[in-house]
Chain A
Amino acid sequence: MTSTRRRRGRRDRYLPYLLLAPALILLAGMLYPFGLGLYYSFTSYWLQYPNRFRFVWFDNYIDLLGEPLFLRALEFTLGFTLLAVLLQVGLGLAVALFLHARIPGRSAIRALMLMPLMIPPVITALMWKIMMASTNAGILNHLFSFVGVDPINWFGSTQGAIVSVLIIDTWGNLPFVALILLGGLQAIPTEPYEAARVDGAGPIAMLRYVTLPLLSPFIVLAVTFRAMDSLRIFDVIYATTAGGPNDATTNLQIMAYQYSFQWYQMGKGMAQAVVLLLLVVMVSYLLMRLWNRASESTQ
């Protein structure tokens, strides 16, 4: 009897740990590569020269400040994120409002709109790269030629490459933003609209004073997701411009890749990745605070 109780007592003591074990293993699996990357960022780790491996404290971070490409990459990372978020959330809102209206074939349009989400970003990028060929062989330039537009140098010029990457990223992620905002629109109760209508509000006023304030938590959520992704964008850039031309589309992620896997300077590459991580954490923290505030104000 006593031994049974003792066994049960032991089981009760270990059970919580047992139940937590999968989560702990998962956590360790996530933390280990992160910790290793962080550690490498303080070393001179260069794959090709394993014998020169040593701890260099903050040297890699200090070197970054003197690296002109780093400043350009940082500028592009932030600028691209700002433009992408504005464009995607703006257009996403327009699409969501359109799909929220009672239009014929709404369900079919919604289903079709999800298609870009099902295509891997690299495939999306390569597909667009073919369509955006700089001569009239590219379908886009071919179509533009019918309205008298000269062939656009999509990827061969610095401005063209930035715009191209922005278009491709927007095409791939617009449905995601629209979906979040559509969900938000559907969650807004009808009463505020009825009250506004009684007060004589027109469609613009209703959008300004009812829809947008009530939708704001969803807008902030979409901005948060898109900002985090845009700061870290890699696949679309790598598959189309690889950071060129003239480093015009090199962001921190591409730069970290080049240092780590093209030139094998893992220590420097990891330092860049850590800076990017800090940037993402900082931006998402600020946006989450904004989201909390927006959620509270709508309740």
Chain B
Amino acid sequence: MRAKSQWLLAQLCATFLLLGGYLDASAQDEQALAYYRQAKINWRQAEGQSLTIGLNKHPFTESLLPLIPEFRRLTGINVEYLILPENEYFTKLVADLSQQRGEFSVIMTGPMRNWQYVPPDWIIPLDDFLNNPKLTDRDWFKLEDFYPALIAANRWNGKTGGGVGEGPLYSIPVLEESYILAYRKDIFEQYNIKVPATIEEMAEAARLVKKNAGIAGIVARGTPTIGTVATGFISGLKGYTDGKWSELDDKLAANLHDARSVKYTEAWVGMVRESGPPNWANMQWYDAMEAFTAGQGGMIADADFFAANYEDPKKSKVAGKVGYALIPAGPDGSPHSGLWTWALGISKATKNKEAAWLFVQWATAQPTLLNATIGYRNYNPSRASISSDPRVHEVMAAWGGGSYLKTVAKNLETARVAWVPQPERTRLGDIWARALHEVYFQRMPAADALKKASGEVDKVLKEAGIK
């Protein structure tokens, strides 16, 4: 009898404990959703609908996945997702969009990618959703919290050759990427090397680092694909020409062989040949970033947010030893950095457009993006409020002894999408990077290689019906 009553008591205690745990978890869930519930919209208006999200493998993606159950609880919308490495992701995405299958409702895109998707009418403008009070509480969402340059980059009027920053908004940015120079402050100070302000000084600094410190003076992307020209290289070239040169002229004729471009290419490729790593021609972005992080390079002109890697003492040999500066500019001295944002857009073929917008709104809301930055190092924030959040600011302010934040702020004053809008930008970039290989391997002088590349670009644009 006594044993039975003890058993009953134990059962009762266990039940209370379990119930307590459940209530506690439930309270935590409610707390997590509290901010979203402040929005004056009905989050459950698309309850029961389903979405498939197409995602590129990225820290932002990693930050999103654990939160998706919260989105389900908030909205009652069922979410599935497919994550692929970048190249495979874009191929799969184009296959889906071109056949209008609507497999992906929400897609991970960005300004230059939108130039491929807007002309054939594959993605839809988001302005109607933003301006619909039933779907968006603008006071709560705070579109003005995003850096204006990033929102402008995701707007396009659809006209080939121009119109960025005008017309409809096609995607909401989830991070900011502009291009700056990171250099080994310790080595520069030790050997009295000047932080470069021109491409010639940059080549000289690279030479001195290699000579004195015995490591590559510069590490950079070098594979024969668009990445090689799309970040530090094009930003430097834009600066070198005071922002007055573009890869295509007003009539969309390729301008890669312009005399200024030839001179800059000679300087850049010469620098990489003389002072770069021997495997430059096989370096992807992550190879270059990892090489610098491992202390194998004196400088790198690439994405600003790579600093999160350089400054992570757990994996970096150069944490605390890096200085940041603008990419060397031209005669007028002002930077002309390129700009990229990963961003979320909506496929035209999706049946559940409202549900898709609710997802985009939730995924780009302040606390979702703040969590991505704090928990998953999704730098640099696309919202000003996240950059100024004390937890984020404290981390970023320490990088480069404060030079990082100052450099990025200065860079963003003039950073803009570096390319002329047209759907064959990737192909153009690949052709351009191949020309750099011709120069690097001394198969052709820069003038001839770039002239040939211009001819190939013209041929592709004509074939695609762009000009």
Nearest Cβ on chain A to B438's Cβ, whole angstroms: 7
Q: How large is the interface on A (under 10, 10 to 19, 20 to 34, 35 or more residues)?
A: 20 to 34
**B423 and A156 contacting across the interface, CB-CB below 8 Å:** no
Residues of B within 8 A of A135 (CB): 277-278, 296
A153 on the B face (CB < 8 A): yes
By secondary structure, the A interface counts as: loop
Binds A, one of B32-40, B91-99, B188-196, B298-306: B91-99
* Contact string against B for A residues 37-69, beta-carbon threshold 8 Å, 1 for contact and 0 otherwise: 000000000111111100000000000000000
Q: Which residues of B contact A (CB under 8 A)?
A: 87, 91, 94-95, 98-99, 116, 120, 222-225, 277-282, 294, 296, 423, 426-427, 430, 434, 437-438, 440-441, 443, 464-465
**A246 and B223 contacting across the interface, CB-CB below 8 Å:** no
What is the chain A residue whose CB lies nearest that of B88? A261
Residues of B within 8 A of A247 (CB): 224, 434, 437
Residues of A within 8 A of B464 (CB): 46, 48-49
**Cβ 8 A contact of A47, one of B94, B281, B441:** B94
Q: Complex: how many Å from CA A40 to CA B59?
A: 38
A134 on the B face (CB < 8 A): yes
Q: Complex: how many Å from CA A153 to CA B282?
A: 10
Residues of A within 8 A of B116 (CB): 48
**A158 and B441 contacting across the interface, CB-CB below 8 Å:** yes
**B426 and A263 contacting across the interface, CB-CB below 8 Å:** yes
**Cβ 8 A contact of A48, one of B98, B224, B296:** B98
**7 pairs of residues in contact across A and B, judged by CB atoms under 8 Å:** A156-B282, A242-B224, A245-B222, A245-B440, A247-B224, A261-B91, A262-B91
What is the chain B residue whose CB lies nearest that of A44? B463
Q: Complex: how many Å from CA A134 to CA B279?
A: 6
Q: Which residues of A contact B (CB under 8 A)?
A: 46-52, 133-135, 137, 151, 153-158, 161, 241-247, 261-264
A154-B279 contact, Cβ under 8 Å, with A48-B94, A49-B464, A245-B437: yes
Q: Complex: how many Å from CA A137 to CA B465?
A: 48
**Cβ 8 A contact of B224, one of A49, A52, A133, A245:** A245
**B278 and A48 contacting across the interface, CB-CB below 8 Å:** no
9 more A-B contacts (CB under 8 A) besides A50-B98, A135-B278, A245-B281?
A: A47-B95, A135-B277, A137-B294, A161-B282, A241-B282, A245-B222, A246-B440, A246-B443, A262-B91
What is the chain B residue whose CB lies nearest that of A244? B224
**A156 and B277 contacting across the interface, CB-CB below 8 Å:** yes
A48-B120 contact, Cβ under 8 Å, with A242-B223, A246-B224, A262-B430: yes
**A155 and B282 contacting across the interface, CB-CB below 8 Å:** yes
**Cβ 8 A contact of A246, one of B91, B95, B441:** B441
Q: Complex: how many Å from CA A242 to CA B91?
A: 16
**Cβ 8 A contact of B437, one of A48, A137, A244:** A244
Q: Complex: how many Å from CA A241 to CA B222?
A: 11
Q: Complex: how many Å from CA A153 to CA B276?
A: 13
Residues of B within 8 A of A157 (CB): 278, 281
A156-B94 contact, Cβ under 8 Å, with A51-B120, A246-B437: no
Q: Complex: how many Å from CA A73 to CA B282?
A: 18
What is the chain B residue whose CB lies nearest that of A264? B94
Q: Complex: how many Å from CA A167 to CA B16?
A: 66
Nearest Cβ on chain A to B64's Cβ, whole angstroms: 26
